[in-house]
């Protein structure tokens, strides 16, 4: 579950007052539900302010104090809530690749939805926290074209400008369309999708997706589902939904799925 979906600032929040309230609940056996309700009613920025105020007044990290109160799934939720988005992403990536098996869906959710700048921050924070290069970890835990796509994204190869080019968008869309008509070899197909989806900036991607639909008469998602399967298809579809006009719907669907889980 992504615990860092957008929550607006709570106008009634005061970090010192809330630190006192939570300390009282922790000291005198207050209901866990009250603490969870408080933490989920404020934004992540406000939770960081609360964390700082609690540390200043009580001389200890509020996360350590909450750790003694909670366990199991509630403990996991509290930890996720109190992390900054960067801390949360780094810890989730580590969890996804630690031990037996790999949680590919978490890798996709984080790596395929972040901007190049955000991935640069995640890359630096990961090596600082665990002493290992994130790209090497991904390489060890995944394979094939799926691995190549994730590594390209982790290494922040995506154009960070806001520039768009209609002619280039047409050329890229035409290449993808030719692929769908079977006129490209498998090697050309994989390399073209990889290059476009990992390197073009979000605004240019939107132009490419629109132009593809104009040329083919079908949305780019249909082409992806036809040409790819499994994790690679899921990764490409996530990129489309993140950087297209369907972004709001995509994250609403994610939140709905998380609440049902």
What are the Cα distances from residue 46, in Å, to 30, 76, 132, 187, 208? 22, 19, 31, 49, 38
Nearest to 27 by CA among 3, 55, 62: 62
Instruction: Kindly report, residue by residue over 165-179, the tens digit of the pLDDT.
Output: 999 999 999 989 887
Domain 85-145 has CATH 1.10.220.10: yes
Three-state DSSP at 138 gives helix
Contact 175, 192 (CB under 8 A): yes
**C-beta neighbour count of 141 within 10 angstroms:** 17
Instruction: Kindly report, residue by residue over 14-47, the tens digit of the pLDDT.
Output: 999 999 999 999 988 778 889 999 999 999 999 9
Q: Dig out the tokens for 5 from the structure.
A: 């979906």
pTM, full prediction: 0.78
pLDDT for residue 248: 44
pLDDT for residue 69: 83
Domain 15-82 has CATH 3.40.50.720: no
Looking at 25-39, 195-209, 243-257, which range is the least confident one?
243-257
The rounded mean pLDDT for the chain is 88
Instruction: Kindly report, residue by residue over 117-166, the tens digit of the pLDDT.
Output: 999 999 999 999 999 999 999 999 999 999 999 999 999 989 999 999 99
pLDDT for residue 252: 46
Q: Fold match between 15-82 and 166-260? A: yes
Residue with token string 């769908």? 180
Domain boundaries, given as residue ranges, for the chain: 15-82, 85-145, 166-260
Task: Name the CA radius of gyration of the chain, rounded.
Answer: 21
162: exposed, middle or buried (Cβ count in 10 Å: 0-12, 13-18, 19+): exposed
- The CATH code for residues 166-260 is 1.10.220.10
């Amino acid at each position: 579950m992504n615990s860092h979906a957008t929550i607006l600032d709570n106008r009634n929040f005061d970090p010192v007052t809330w630190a006192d309230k939570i300390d009282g609940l922790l000291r005198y056996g207050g209901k866990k539900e009250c603490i969870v309700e408080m933490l989920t009613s404020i934004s992540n920025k406000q939770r960081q302010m609360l964390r700082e105020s609690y540390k200043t007044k009580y001389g200890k990290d509020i996360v350590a104090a909450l750790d003694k109160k909670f366990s199991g799934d509630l403990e996991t939720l509290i930890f996720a809530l109190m992390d900054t988005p960067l801390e949360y992403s780094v810890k989730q990536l580590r969890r996804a690749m630690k031990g037996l098996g790999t949680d590919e869906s978490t890798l996709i959710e984080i790596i395929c939805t972040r901007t190049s700048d955000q991935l640069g921050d995640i890359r630096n924070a990961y090596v600082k926290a665990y002493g290992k290069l994130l790209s090497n970890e991904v390489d060890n835990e995944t394979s094939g074209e799926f691995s190549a796509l994730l590594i390209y994204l982790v290494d922040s190869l995506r154009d960070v400008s806001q520039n768009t080019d209609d002619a280039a968008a047409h050329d890229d869309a035409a290449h993808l369309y030719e692929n769908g008509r079977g006129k490209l070899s498998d090697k050309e197909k994989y390399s073209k999708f990889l290059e476009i989806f990992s390197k073009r900036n979000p605004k240019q991607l939107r132009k490419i997706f629109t132009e593809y639909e104009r040329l083919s008469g079908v949305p780019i998602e249909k082409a992806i589902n036809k040409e790819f399967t499994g994790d690679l298809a899921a990764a490409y579809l996530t990129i489309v939904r993140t950087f297209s006009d369907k972004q709001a719907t995509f994250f609403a669907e994610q939140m709905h799925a998380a609440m049902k889980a």
